[in-house]
Amino acid sequence: MAVLVLTGTAWCAEATSKSGRPTVSSNAAVPKRAVNADALLRLGDLYSDAGNAHRDLAKALDFYRQAADAGSATGKVRVGVMRLNGEGTKLDVEGGLSLIEEVASSGDGDALAVLGGLYSHADSGIVPLDLPRAYDYYQRAGAVGNTTGLLRSGEMLARGEGTAKDVEAGRAAVRSLADKGNVYALVSLGDLLSGGDAGPLDIDGAEAAYAKAAALGRTDALLLLGDLVGSGRGRKPDYVRAFEFYDKAAEAGVPLGRLRAAQLTFRGRGTQQDVEGGLATIKSIADTGDPEALTFLGDAFSGAISAPVASNPEEALGYYQRAADAGASHAMVRLGEMTAHGLGTPRDVEAGRSIVRRIADSGNAAALISLGDLLREPQSGNVDGVGAVAAYERAAGLDETEALVRLGDFYSDGNTVAVDLPKALDYYRQAAEKGSAIGAVRAGAMIARGHGTTQDVETGRAMVKKATESGEGEAYVVMGDLLTRGDAGKPDVSAAIKQYDEAASLGWTQGLIRLGDLYRDRKLLPSNGRRAVGYYRQAAEAGDPYGLLILGTTLSESQLRSVGRPADGVAALREAEAKGLDDAVVALADAMLYGMGTKRNPKGAAALLEQASANGNIAATRHLISYYRDGRRFGRSTYFNADMDRAQELFIEVSPRLSRGDLLVEEMLFSAANSRRNYQSIVDRMPELSMESRQSLIRMMRTTHQNAYIYLAQHRLKEIGFYTGPINGVLTGATTRAVNRYCASKSMQSACRYGPMSSQAGDVLSYAF
């Protein structure tokens, strides 16, 4: 235990006895000891220290009071803070504030800085948030030389918190302290240069600031360096360097360094993968009650992040609950989401939304976005589009660029309101202007394809290409798509392969799946079954169940020559189903219906879908509707008889849980099934759908309503100048030639050599919509 030496104590001794004790003459006056306010403050600090086994807040308060009575302004401030917090005494917010304000009124920098912290909620949430007032206090503190005031007022100025935003002036104020070796200012400068909320990114400058802070002994700066280089902010992630920084932090005794290094080891990023070893370390840290470790495990077992472990909603829920109990807001939000979706716990939409709303109401931007998502998805209860937009807009007001992206999605996906592509593009552009790589990717893709604006392939591609420099995996996947689909300029398959490879190197399994598709589909490359299967397996081994789904579908349907067996495909589909992928049961039912890799059993196929539907699997319900609405035939063989009454019954049951877009698609498919006279009404309603939904509808029509497919193709090709014949839904030579001309205009001639009814031609035609 530390021993405090009280200095400055006055002894008035004229003599000292042999025992060493001072002696005082009998007729001498006994002098009073001088009070040492600094020593009293130190005693107060000692007894208020949370790390002191003998902590005693009442004693701490008494020492602070004594220091205040001795004239210490600091003592008076600390008494005020303890009253505010109810520490060692009865909670007294008004009295505590009054004491601190009394000291601050004299121009005391420390007191002014404390008030700035209180009103900015940097120190607590006891008093109402008042950023303008906080900024004023910090600025006044800085004016009298208080370092905290200088630092915090600079940060707020750079971010526009409580005052007009002035990035350069704010950064300059923080830099002036950083240049003097202030480690707090160095860390703050790194944050301002890399956060994206205080001006343009300067990743090199941020790294230099963090490195200097680390060199001066701020070991947590090593964590910040790992986060910076590993996140890919402004550049491609460097997991090797990130692991090195985390490892150094762990060696320096920073607990989070050990956790982050274990997370990278578990996922095989920047170091040799060791799933069991990494997971064991993370679990051992979680067992101490560490909220970040618990949250990570929740994310891994819930499938919220790509991880090499099987999904286990119940286990994930347990980890989230423990993390939430430890105060982790992200875990609390995930608990709400899982409750609303019925994952690992009985489904309770209102309870789930309520959990998320409580966090959102505190001003948590991530919770506001989650709330918006829950309010607009029908599977989470009654849709509230107005409430969703309000939540997203409030998050956007907190400088959360992801909220702007969500608003763009809201108006582009057609799932909640009618599609408004110009409005969606505007939100994506706003997000891009604020530094969002995803906003830039989505805006660039729309511009390259002419969605919501005049098509400008060069500008759109350049925007997406620029976004790849940030290391954003989605940017590489979208760039590859722009180079392969033919709807955004001439295809360049070699360049696209490089983009997909880069995405895969960043852990984006979509890159691997896209590469498999290139070698499977024969639209741009000759078929290469071994390479296609290899890529799908890599995606599956990386933890993406869609890799198993596509591998299983491809093998069960014998899409690849001399590679794999249909039975192998069924086994992969069963594995995907076991991992919780809803779509897997759809492919399994088809395999059973047609006898692909398993015994033919149409009744069993329908029963499989019925059971999945009863368990809440919407994909299974929609596929079952398709069985009954359209029947299943191949050549002269009938595999499943249509039953329109049963189809309608199922549709009515599932309708409340369908998004607006999916509902429209199902209604159009029913229109096509009922009468050829309805084909034009489908054409008229197409603009109500998102681009993705239109393309999905076209692909479904090709296999279930071929005359409707031809009608829609004729209408669209006539609109864009490739077809001049009648629009009647009849496949004629003129229609075939129009399809071929369209494919040639997109440099996709090879895709249409299999005829207009082929899946390859259907894919290319779908992009015309």
Which two three-digit tokens encode residue 389? 């937009």
CB count in 10 Å sphere of residue 125:
9
Q: Residue 632: in which H helix or E strand, if any?
A: strand 632-634
Phi-psi region of 755 (alpha: psi -120 to 50; beta: other; left: phi over 0): left
Lowest mean pLDDT among 51-60, 213-222, 598-607, 662-671: 51-60
Asked if residues 264 and 236 have their Cβ atoms less than 8 Å apart, the reply is no
Distance CA 73, CA 249 (A): 38
Average pLDDT of the residues in 458-485: 94
Distance CA 114, CA 134 (A): 9
Kindly tell me the burial class for residue 274, based on how many C-beta atoms sit within 10 Å of its own C-beta (0-12, 13-18, 19 or more). middle
Spatial neighbors of 347 by CB under 8 A, at least 6 apart, are 339, 340, 341, 616
- The pLDDT-based confidence of 148 (bands split at 50, 70, 90) is very high
* pLDDT greater than 50 at residue 25: no
Distance CA 751, CA 410 (A): 33
Asked if residues 225 and 233 have their Cβ atoms less than 8 Å apart, the reply is no
Burial 340-378 (b: 16+ CB within 10 A, else e): bbbbbbebbbeebbebbbbbbeeebbbbbbbbbbbbbbb
* pLDDT greater than 90 at residue 174: yes
Residue-by-residue DSSP string for 119-131: HHTSS-SSSPP-H
Which two three-digit tokens encode residue 623? 């596929």
Average pLDDT of the residues in 746-764: 88
Distance CA 94, CA 506 (A): 53
| Distance spanning both ends of the chain, measured CA to CA | 76
Asked if residues 581 and 588 have their Cβ atoms less than 8 Å apart, the reply is no
Q: Calculate the average pLDDT of the chain.
A: 90
* 469 closest CA partner among 236, 204, 202: 236
The alpha-helical segments, DSSP class H, found in 655-729 are: 660-674, 679-685, 691-704, 706-719
Distance CA 132, CA 714 (A): 62
Kindly tell me the burial class for residue 490, based on how many C-beta atoms sit within 10 Å of its own C-beta (0-12, 13-18, 19 or more). exposed
CA 295 to mean position of chain CA atoms? 14
- The pLDDT-based confidence of 33 (bands split at 50, 70, 90) is low
Kindly tell me the burial class for residue 231, based on how many C-beta atoms sit within 10 Å of its own C-beta (0-12, 13-18, 19 or more). middle
Spatial neighbors of 601 by CB under 8 A, at least 6 apart, are 592, 593, 595
Asked if residues 291 and 267 have their Cβ atoms less than 8 Å apart, the reply is no
* pLDDT greater than 90 at residue 662: yes
Percentages (nearest 5) of helix, strand, coil residues in the chain: 65, 0, 30
* pLDDT greater than 50 at residue 334: yes
The dihedrals phi and psi of 154, each to the nearest 5 degrees, come to -65, -45
The dihedrals phi and psi of 264, each to the nearest 5 degrees, come to -70, -35
Distance CA 527, CA 218 (A): 56
Q: Given CA atoms 751, 755, 759, 762 in this order, what sign does their dihedral have?
A: positive
Average pLDDT of the residues in 173-187: 96
pLDDT of 273 reads 93
- The pLDDT-based confidence of 18 (bands split at 50, 70, 90) is very low
> C-alpha dihedral over 505, 507, 508, 513, to 10 degrees?
70
Which two three-digit tokens encode residue 686? 């197409």
- Quote the crossing angle between the two packed helices 203-215 and 183-194, to the nearest 10°: 160
Kindly tell me the burial class for residue 391, based on how many C-beta atoms sit within 10 Å of its own C-beta (0-12, 13-18, 19 or more). buried
* pLDDT greater than 50 at residue 19: no
Asked if residues 339 and 355 have their Cβ atoms less than 8 Å apart, the reply is yes
* pLDDT greater than 90 at residue 337: yes
Asked if residues 687 and 419 have their Cβ atoms less than 8 Å apart, the reply is yes
Place of tokens 């762990």: 250
640: which DSSP letter?
E
For the stretch 578-610, pLDDT in tens is 888 899 999 999 999 999 999 999 999 999 999
* 555 closest CA partner among 582, 536, 580: 536
pLDDT of 74 reads 93
For residue 320, give the 3-state DSSP assignment.
helix
- Amino acid at site 171: R
For the stretch 691-732, pLDDT in tens is 999 999 999 999 889 999 999 999 999 999 999 999 999 999
Kindly tell me the burial class for residue 224, based on how many C-beta atoms sit within 10 Å of its own C-beta (0-12, 13-18, 19 or more). buried
* pLDDT greater than 60 at residue 613: yes
Which two three-digit tokens encode residue 325? 């109990």
Which two three-digit tokens encode residue 621? 């319900």
Average pLDDT of the residues in 455-460: 97
- The pLDDT-based confidence of 116 (bands split at 50, 70, 90) is very high
- The pLDDT-based confidence of 528 (bands split at 50, 70, 90) is very high
Angle at 701 between CA 696 and CA 702, to 5 degrees: 100
Q: Residue 16: in which H helix or E strand, if any?
A: strand 15-16
- The pLDDT-based confidence of 8 (bands split at 50, 70, 90) is very low
Angle at 208 between CA 203 and CA 212, to 5 degrees: 150
Which two three-digit tokens encode residue 219? 């070991």
For residue 497, give the 3-state DSSP assignment.
helix
For the stretch 564-574, pLDDT in tens is 899 999 999 99
For the stretch 237-262, pLDDT in tens is 889 999 999 999 999 999 999 999 99
Three-state helix/strand/coil letters over 498-567: HHHHHHHHCCCHHHHHHHHHHHHHCCCCCCCHHHHHHHHHHHHHCCCHHHHHHHHHHHHCCCCCCCCCHH
Place of tokens 């578990």: 266
* 159 closest CA partner among 170, 148, 172, 174: 170
Beta partners for residue 633, in sequence order: 638
Q: How many CA atoms lie within 13 A of 458 on its CB side?
A: 0
31: which DSSP letter?
P
- The pLDDT-based confidence of 29 (bands split at 50, 70, 90) is very low
CA distances from 603 to 365, 448, 532, 703 (A): 49, 47, 32, 21
Average pLDDT of the residues in 48-67: 90
* 363 closest CA partner among 404, 324, 399: 399
Asked if residues 519 and 535 have their Cβ atoms less than 8 Å apart, the reply is yes
Asked if residues 177 and 204 have their Cβ atoms less than 8 Å apart, the reply is no
Greater model confidence, 228 or 399: 228
Asked if residues 580 and 303 have their Cβ atoms less than 8 Å apart, the reply is yes
Place of tokens 């208020």: 48
- Amino acid at site 9: T
In this structure, the chain runs to a length of 769
For the stretch 358-402, pLDDT in tens is 999 988 999 999 999 999 988 777 899 999 999 999 999 988 999
Spatial neighbors of 179 by CB under 8 A, at least 6 apart, are none
Beta partners for residue 632, in sequence order: 640
pLDDT of 464 reads 97
- The pLDDT-based confidence of 734 (bands split at 50, 70, 90) is very high
* pLDDT greater than 70 at residue 34: no
Q: Residue 634: in which H helix or E strand, if any?
A: strand 632-634
Q: Given CA atoms 147, 149, 154, 155 in this order, what sign does their dihedral have?
A: positive
For residue 450, give the 3-state DSSP assignment.
coil
The dihedrals phi and psi of 715, each to the nearest 5 degrees, come to -60, -45
